[in-house]
Amino acid sequence: MRRLLIAGSIFALSLPLVACDNVTTQNSTASAGKAQWTDGNLRQLREAIDHRARHGLDHLNFDAKDNGPEAQTEVALRYAAALAHGDSDPTKLYDVYTVARPNPDLRAGLAKAMAENKLSDWLESLAPQSDEYRALSKAYLALTRQAEAPAAAIPATSKAIEPGQSDGRMPAIARQLVASDYLDKGQAGGERYREPMVQAVKRMQQDFGIKPDGSIGTQALEILNLSDADRARAIAVAMERTRWLDRTPPATRIDVNLAAARLSYWRDGKLANVRKVVVGEPDTETPQLGSPIYRLVANPTWTVPRSIERKEIAGKGAAYLRRNNMVRKDGWIVQQPGPKNSLGLVKFDMKNEHQIYLHDTPAKQLFAQVQRQRSHGCVRVEDAEGFAAMLAQDAGIVDEWNKARATGKESFVPLPREIPVRMLYQTVLFDDQGEPVVRADPYGWNDRISVALGFKAGSGARLRGAGSDIGP
């Protein structure tokens, strides 16, 4: 499936498949609810599990402990759960995960499906039904049909590719630079390593802590290059993450993809706006939260968290505080409102115990970066003033919002209806043709899922923290 564009680190992959064909009990009198395990139900269960590769679950063992009806029921329920809300539990894989998850009554569903002899249909209905999930499934199956341990798409050689040289690998390298947003599509083409590509490679090298000399050697190729097996692993993880999510999310909501540093605003079930964001850098990652915006804040003040005060401000004198419009209040450092405030001119207050929210920023230059994992954990929104105006318009509070902004003082404007926000982490996006695009895993958060799915952990390049500024 060479059409898949990739940008990320190389991961190891184990490929042994686990057969699951020991379901042989027939005409059992035991039941799931009131339904019995008939020959037909057993056959449908076995066939569904045999085709689990469609969901990237082929590295997991769903064998029954024995041939008894209770064991078959537990296998059916475990496989149903894997399809309905993932085989892994994100609340156990991550310190913080509060995004809403599906919670169907699987025992009741299993009993009904068995009674109606529709077990196969019921199991398939539990998985996500979106076009994106189907595209992931199709791509995964195509990749796993390739030979085991296939060669990398861009093979490394003993000599690096230097600026100005011609090399047959350049078109593939250019495609992957485009896929990862380092290179404009119009700048790709030909086998000569030209200046626009050199600058793109240097930006990528800098993001990942490699000497930014533009030389395409082993380390640069490691960031760019994934084998078919590596891509399959990333797509299996993407399917699992998708299964974690509610099948019917709120029609009006905000989704923030932390891996891609992008915000999507959905209005009444339709995508209304997409914009760049800056999210937490490695070591101060933005957590995966489900948390609503309940009010807009004009001209916000910023109370500096103790952690940032200790790491960024400790030892700096009164002149530093004055220069940054900061004062001490009740033992805390507070930055006063204004365009230089670290929250900018707009804050989107959210309800969560982790003090995570969306906000403006004076550091506009960060939005021009490709890897925008650069904050202390909160989410900085590109053109936050324009985004706030959009939300105010949709909420019918334009007058109140404009009056609040005009005061020049910190002012709060409640939203008539809270807007749900989901902080997600998805390293597979989709191009204009709907094909999966495997991108970087900046936090290295895919590894723990891939291990839970039966793959081996990866050990590739990771994004380097930049420590850009003191902002949240």
Sign of CA dihedral 272, 275, 281, 282: positive
How many CA atoms, within 13 angstroms, populate the side-chain half-sphere of residue 306? 1
Check 59, 85, 359, 376 and give the catalytic one: 359
Q: Give which of 191, 382, 193 is closest to 275, Cα–Cα.
A: 382
Give the pairing of strands 436-438 and 428-430: antiparallel
What angle (nearest 5°) sits at the alpha carbon of residue 266, between those of residues 264 and 270? Answer: 120
Per-residue b or e along 358-372, where b marks 16 or more CB atoms closer than 10 Å to that residue's CB: bbbbbbeebbebbbb
C-alpha to C-alpha distance for 397 and 389, rounded to whole angstroms: 9
**CB of 385 closer than 8 Å to CB of 346:** yes
Catalytic residue among 20, 59, 85, 378: 378
- Note if 378 is an active site residue: yes
* CA 3/CA 139 separation, integer angstroms: 10
Examine the residue annotation and report whether 51 is marked as an active-site residue of this protein: no
SS3 content of the chain, % helix, strand, coil (to 5): 35, 20, 45
* Coil, strand or helix at 186: helix
Nearest of 142, 140, 127 to residue 48 by alpha carbon: 127
Catalytic machinery residues:
359, 378
